[in-house]
Every structure is written in C-alpha cells, then in structure tokens.
Structure 1
Amino acid sequence: MIIISGKELAIARAKKGLTITELAIKAGVHRYTISRIEKGMLTPRLDTVGKIAKALDKPVEYFLEK
C-alpha cells in the first residue's frame, strides 16, 4: 500500500496556484479524488499518484509519507 502525504499534495497544489478542480482536470482524475487524498480519506493507486505528480511537475517520491 502506498501512503502519500495529503499535506504535501495540498502544499504543492497551492504553490502551483491550482484549485482542486484545476489539478484534477490537469491530472485526469476526479476532483473528489484530490480532495479525499488531501484530507487523508483516500489512499490512491500508484498510477493515480503518478498522474498527480506529473501534473504538478514533481517526482512521485515527493508525495510519499516520510
């Protein structure tokens, strides 16, 4: 199971100046997916993390819990 940091996701999204909806469109995932990940309510699949990371120009490892 992959555990990603919702906090890091929210920070990276804010630094890019994107709303949840804008990031979701850019990453090709549902906006509720982004919201639930940021709130710690959803553990995404690796492919979803990859899409989000690519949309934010970050490596997947950036979002992994430390």
Structure 2
Amino acid sequence: MSEATLYDVVRNDEEQYSLWDAERELPAGWHREGTRGTREECVAHIDRIWTDIRPLSVRERHARHA
C-alpha cells in the first residue's frame, strides 16, 4: 500500500495560489502558505481563500484608478 502524496499550498508575490508536492523544493518566487494536506484538501482550501484571482498588481492598479 502506497502513502498518499502530501501537498503544500503555495503563493507567489502576486498572491496567486498553487499546489506543490510537499517533499519538493519550491521554485523561485513561491512561498509556502502554511496549509498541507491531500490534493483534494489543498484544492478545497484554495477555493475558499482565493476569491479574487486577479494578480495583486492588477488589483492595486484597478484600486488606484477606481
């Protein structure tokens, strides 16, 4: 019986989220958000917290011009 792969929820500087294999080193520009679990658990967490998928720079630009 094989163990399920654990994933980390990761976020970049533009506040975009993704999943990353918990055992692998992160690529440059990505940071662990603090949530670890199965793929399904991590996807559900991202669905709950990432309500505005626009990159941070776009949201800030829009706010300045609003």
Does the TM-score normalized on the shorter chain lie above 0.5?
A: no
TM-score relative to the length of structure 1: 0.25
Higher strand share: 2
Provide the TM-score with structure 2 as the length reference.
0.25
Which of structures 1 and 2 has the larger relative contact order (alpha carbons within 8 angstroms, sep 6+)? 1
